[in-house]
Structure 1
Amino acid sequence: MGHGGFGITYLGWDANLQIKVAIKEYLPREWAHRDANAGQVVANSSDVQVHFQTGLNNFLAEARTLAKFQQHPGIVSVLSFFPAFGTGYMVMEYVEGQTLKSYLQLYGRLAWTQTLDIFIQIMDALRAVHKAGLLHRDIAPDNIYICSDGRVKLLDFGAAQLDGIGSVQSTQSQTVIVKPGFAPEEQYRNTREQGPWSDVYSVAASMYFCLTGEAPPDALERLKQDTLKLPSAYGVLMPPAAEQALLNALAVNSFQRPQSIETLQQQFLNLPANPAVGLDTRTNIHVNPQLKSKFAYPVASKNRYFFSGQRWLIIGSLSLMMLIFIFQLAKDKNPRIEPVPVAKGSGPSLQMSAPEPISNNDELVDRSRQRELERQASEELKQQQAAALKRFEERQRQESAPAQQGSKSLDATQKEHLRSLCDEWGATMDCKDFQ
């Protein structure tokens, strides 16, 4: 289904569970290759053998990390892990969709409300990750997955590690391939300064990319000269408070950022009730059905998700339809009398006599009397039907044998009685057997 610098993802079939799965193979192309004859994955040279083996151990650690969040709706689930052909394989749940990076390439940058809907779900997932004492350290649009049902998943925990606060880490465990523009400056260095605030920076950088179409300048370059532009400079329509919260999360100095993902999430959720005038509130996320089989990744089962803007759009549409219906109903109650067109020509003109006016009081009295007569007739009909049904049920109880089971033909007297009822009340009875 896809491949990258560290492996290949295959579409598989679980013969026991009878379900599709995604199988991720560890195959770092810089350190290893597949032997064409034996089919084994081997290191490119003895010099990189240690790197290959360390990476394989980290690949297994990634599977174990994901297994901690088996039931979380915003994190990819792992079903199994097994070694084979000199490398390792991770088996994950499969669902159709595409990465956020692919989505942006297809549809362009997003509105503020679209971006917020996506990243509120990502922040929910990160709260669980941080609560478990882990850091993701590789949050970027290519590691965020938009499911075909609208849900959002956080992918690729290959760079995840224990939170540096109060934990012992080796230099090797600190090593990570950073994504320029999305990684904070402390992630470039082998220090213990990384923490939840590091993932806060990457989340904000990814949101910035969705809004502007460009990644923030590299964090190391910003240390020398900060050239970060405001989203509003790109024409982005968003609440000023939201823009300020985003810029705070993108602070180069880690101490100036929100220190937890919960804090950042609350800042976005607690925005003023009245946003800026002209705010773009589009929240529809396009999911192209033709791309479902092309973009796929292992994530949890489907559960339809609607973005908040779509719900309000539906409510607004229904309200508008109701107003139109009420207006039309009122219009029908007071019909407009259109003049009859008169044909032009040499013939005599037609003169229409005006109808005599009808007293409003007389009209109301006539309508009231008519409704009363209809009500009385309806009540009388109901009483007659009830009486006839009661007679039939009483006659049936008297003439039916208690021990008789199954179907039994009726005697001539019963048939004649039912036939007379059908003749009188055929519209309210099933009379096909007594015709």
Structure 2
Amino acid sequence: MAEEFMVQNSFVFLRKEKCLNKNRSDGGSMNGQKRCYNCMRILEEEKHQEICPWCGFEEKKYIAGGQCLPPGTTLLNGRYLIGRKLSQGGFGITYIGWDNALEHKVAVKEYYPSEFVERDTTKSYSVSVRKQSDLVSRERDNFVKEARILYSLSSCPGIVHIENIIENENDTSYLIMELLEGVTLKQYRDEHRNQQLDPKEALELMKPVIRSMQEVHKMGLLHRDISPDNIMLCNDLEVKLLDFGAARSQDSTQFTTIMKTEFSPPEQRYRKPGEGERSKALKQQGPWTDVYAVCATLYYLIAGKAAQSSQGRVCSLLETGEDSLTPLSVWNEDVTPELERAVSHGMVLKIQKRTASMEELYRDLYECPQNGTTEEAVEEKAHRWKWMAGIFLAGLCMVGIVLAGIYMRSSKTSVAGKLEDIRKEKPVETIKSKSKTYRMIRVEGMKRKEAAGALQQLADSSLEIIWKRKYSSTVKKGEILSQSIAPGTEWEAGSLGKLTIYVSRGRKYCRVPVVRGEAEQEARRLLKKAKLRICVMKEYHETVPEGLVVEQSVKAGRRVKKNTKITVIVSKGSNPAAGQSELNNSTKTIRGSRSGQNKVVPPM
């Protein structure tokens, strides 16, 4: 039975109608309205639109594949409409969807372990098991059980929110999740000129992921598929961890399929049935499994390339006796020794020697001054050491006073005689020792390593050097921007407290938000929030309603300079004086500025 949803007074009323197949595609139609399978906006059926005017999606050219549900399929008696496939992995398939009850876009995760099941959508949408049916059934139950646990963690800022769970439909299960719009960390990294992120920026991006995984591990779950393309940087700059389809309880020994060799530890290698207990013990998984993936992701973001696969490193270790992992500082000169040590320790091949938990990894990455700790934490730590040093010196003085008193009492007579002899002698002139004087050098314009070497030549060990970073539109990234003590300044040893060196982070860029399809006022707000300027041009458009943005001059997600002008075309509605839309000069200007790329890019 197909059921049509109508929302009224916060209640959902169902009207049942007979249909040949409750899951069959109905062309995306609901309540007489057809939707685009990419952006899920309503299309005008009477105009027989083959290309979505909002995002440019062309349904006829889309190929779902034999294993995927075709667009227009519905779930839960018509509540959820399935759109195009977003991604597919070894444990499941993710689609864009539409919730007809709450009227908003969702992501639909279908449990589909492709190694064990199959489906021919030309005959049926049901999933059939090819092998190990008991295992597939048991793991599907675990999938639902653990999805409920993840639902309880939806309040965590770094975890995608789960809205619903469909336990049994098409002989499989589904998760209904919030749809996140933005770019993955892989896409974000690819936008950088040298495909490398500043270590401090990479650490900030991964912080909510590590915090969230601490809570996941406390619930007894592992993610087991953390990678740059499973972490989303949303349009509101919030970072969220995606694709918990590979998540399993920590004591699970089934379905150990490695997804991405560059980001998975050796214990995640596929386990064949019947392997011995010794082999199972060697492949035991735990929080350290996700620790490896997080560190491998950090390596990828900072180095600009993935580390050697764990299996390749194991082979190298067996052949040569040495680990082939290239140190992170080889690829990025801004990497500190502390950061390099924390990442490499989290990627150790042997479980027993690897960082054991997310809490330990967090301490290694964020509670060390060299790795971007807050200034307050650094000052607090310094204050604590000064306080301890003060107690030690005070105790030392007390011991000295006691010993001096004992000595003075035992030799009072001899000391008095010596003092009398000294009084009779001529007074001795006191010579005041002259402290060593230092002169500050100029480090502005130098590279950090060059400046650090030059400052070491000063040889004043009491001078504390603090490195900070600032954006600059004039000084290249990695060069010294300024110094807190002017060149030529002289001081005596120990008289200066600290020297602050500011290193350029290069020009600050802004990311262009998605404004296409938004109302003009909302487009202005989004661009202003992104620190960009807007230029509005209006033209008639036959398919886009009046007041909505038809096109934007710079593709969403691009990194541009601050205050860059973004030109948007806003629809004036249908032209009353013509039966078809006009080719406006402003559209030509914008499309020409894209170097001839007239292809419409769907907003994601």
Same fold per TM (> 0.5)? Answer: yes
Equivalent residues of 1:32, 1:52 under 8 A apart: no
| Aligned counterpart, 2:306 | 215
| Aligned counterpart, 1:60 | 144
Equivalent residues of 1:41, 1:86 under 8 A apart: yes
Equivalent residues of 1:211, 1:236 under 8 A apart: no
| Aligned counterpart, 1:385 | none
Equivalent residues of 1:35, 1:41 under 8 A apart: no
Structure ranking higher in helix proportion = 1
Structure ranking higher in strand proportion = 2
| Aligned counterpart, 1:20 | 105
| Aligned counterpart, 2:128 | 42
Instruction: Give the whole-Å Cα distance in 1 for the aligned partners of 2:201 and 2:516.
Output: 20
**Contiguous gaps of at least 5 residues in structure 1:** 294-301, 307-316, 318-435
Shift of 1:42: 3.1
Instruction: Give the whole-Å Cα distance in 2 for the aligned partners of 1:266 and 1:99.
Output: 26
| Aligned counterpart, 1:232 | 329
For 2:280, the aligned partner's letter is N
For 1:26, the aligned partner's letter is Y
Q: 1:259 aligns with which of 350, 356, 372?
A: 356
Q: 1:198 aligns with which of 280, 289, 292?
A: 289
Instruction: Give the whole-Å Cα distance in 2 for the aligned partners of 1:200 and 1:292.
Output: 39
Shift of 1:119: 0.9
Correspondence 1:115 to 2:209: no
Inter-CA distance 123–12: structure 2 relative to 1 (3 Å threshold): same
Instruction: Give the whole-Å Cα distance in 2 for the aligned partners of 1:292 and 1:127.
Output: 38
The 5 Å alignment of 1:90-101 reads: 90-101=175-186
1:264-320 Cα offsets, whole Å, 9 max, x none, are 212222232634894664796864435999xxxxxxxx9xx99xxxxxxxxxx9xxx
Instruction: Give the whole-Å Cα distance in 2 for the aligned partners of 1:292 and 1:114.
Output: 28
Q: 1:245 aligns with which of 338, 342, 345?
A: 342
| Aligned counterpart, 2:164 | 80
- SS across alignment from 1:222: helix
- SS across alignment from 1:207: helix
Instruction: Give the whole-Å Cα distance in 2 for the aligned partners of 1:285 and 1:194.
Output: 40
For 2:120, the aligned partner's letter is R
CA RMSD of aligned residues (A): 3.3
Equivalent residues of 1:197, 1:254 under 8 A apart: yes
TM-score (norm 2): 0.43
Instruction: Give the whole-Å Cα distance in 2 for the aligned partners of 1:163 and 1:87.
Output: 23
**Contiguous gaps of at least 5 residues in structure 2:** 1-84, 270-278, 370-377, 379-465, 470-477, 479-502, 518-525, 531-561, 563-604
| Aligned counterpart, 2:268 | 187
Equivalent residues of 1:35, 1:42 under 8 A apart: no
Out of 23-32 and 118-127, give the one that drifted further.
Answer: 23-32
For 2:366, the aligned partner's letter is L
- SS across alignment from 1:17: coil
For 2:182, the aligned partner's letter is G
- SS across alignment from 1:186: helix
| Aligned counterpart, 2:513 | 289
Instruction: Give the whole-Å Cα distance in 1 for the aligned partners of 2:326 and 2:266.
Output: 18
Instruction: Give the whole-Å Cα distance in 2 for the aligned partners of 1:114 and 1:283.
Output: 14
Equivalent residues of 1:114, 1:283 under 8 A apart: no
The 5 Å alignment of 1:327-406 reads: none
Q: 2:249 aligns with which of 148, 156, 162?
A: 162
Shift of 1:208: 0.2
Instruction: Give the whole-Å Cα distance in 2 for the aligned partners of 1:150 and 1:283.
Output: 19
Correspondence 1:172 to 2:396: no
Shift of 1:156: 1.9
Equivalent residues of 1:111, 1:237 under 8 A apart: yes
Q: Which is higher, the Rg of structure 1 or of structure 2?
A: 1
Correspondence 1:150 to 2:374: no
Equivalent residues of 2:107, 2:179 under 8 A apart: yes
Inter-CA distance 89–287: structure 2 relative to 1 (3 Å threshold): farther
Shift of 1:48: 5.9
Instruction: Give the whole-Å Cα distance in 1 for the aligned partners of 2:511 and 2:185.
Output: 11
- SS across alignment from 1:172: coil
- SS across alignment from 2:244: coil
Inter-CA distance 40–251: structure 2 relative to 1 (3 Å threshold): closer
Inter-CA distance 38–179: structure 2 relative to 1 (3 Å threshold): closer
Shift of 1:106: 3.7
Out of 116-125 and 231-240, give the one that drifted further.
Answer: 231-240
- SS across alignment from 1:36: coil
1:305-341 Cα offsets, whole Å, 9 max, x none, are 99xxxxxxxxxx9xxxxxxxxxxxxxxxxxxxxxxxx
Inter-CA distance 286–251: structure 2 relative to 1 (3 Å threshold): farther
